[in-house]
Amino acid sequence: MAHDPGPPLEQWPGLAPQMPAASADSTPAEAAASLPARLVQTGPFGLDECRLVLVPGRRGSDALASIGWSAKASLPLLCALLRSWEDRFGAQTVAVFGSELHVSVARPPVDAEQANLLALEHVLSTADNIVDDPPTPFPEYAAGLVGRTNWTFWWD
C-alpha cells in the first residue's frame, strides 16, 4: 500500500460545519430506527447475539458513560465527540458490540470539504479502524463519509 500522507492540513481547521436538515432527510430517530435491521442483516452478529438495553439519559450521546462502557478509547473524549456529532449531524449511538460502536447519522456531510473536516474528528476518536486497522488512507476514508448514514468505530 502506498504511504498515507495523513490529513492534508498543517493545523487544526476547526470542526466540520453543522449539516442543515432538509425536508428529504430522515430525522435522527428515523435514522437510528433503521440501523439495527441493517446491522443484523449485514453485520457479523446475528439477532440471537443482540440484547436490547434502554439507558436512561437526556441524550443518546450520554449512553456509553451511563453504562460504564469500556474500550481502548477515552470515554470522556468519545462522549464529547458523540454529543457534538449529535448536534451537528443528527448522529445517534445505536449499538455496541464488545468494543465496537455503531452510530446512525441523519445529516451526513454532502461534500469533500465537510467530509475532510469530519474525518479529522473521527481520527480524534482514536478508533483502530480509522487509525490502524485497516490502514485506509485518509483521503479515501474522508471521501467515504460523504452521504454515509452510519459510522462504525472499533478499538482492539
Q: Per-residue pLDDT for the chain (156 aa), expressed as one digit of tens each?
A: 455 555 666 777 878 888 888 777 788 988 888 888 788 777 666 666 667 788 888 888 899 999 988 888 889 999 999 999 999 999 999 988 888 899 999 999 999 999 999 999 998 888 888 877 666 788 889 999 999 999 999 998
Q: Which of helix, strand or coil describes residue 92?
A: strand
CA–CA dist 110, 21 (Å, integer): 12
DSSP string, 92-135: EEEEEETTEEEEEESS---SHHHHHHHHHHHHHTT-HHHHTSS-
Instruction: Fill in the DSSP letter of residue 62.
Output: G
Q: What is the pLDDT of residue 106?
A: 95
Q: What is the pLDDT of residue 1?
A: 46
Cα Rg for the chain, rounded, in angstroms? Answer: 15
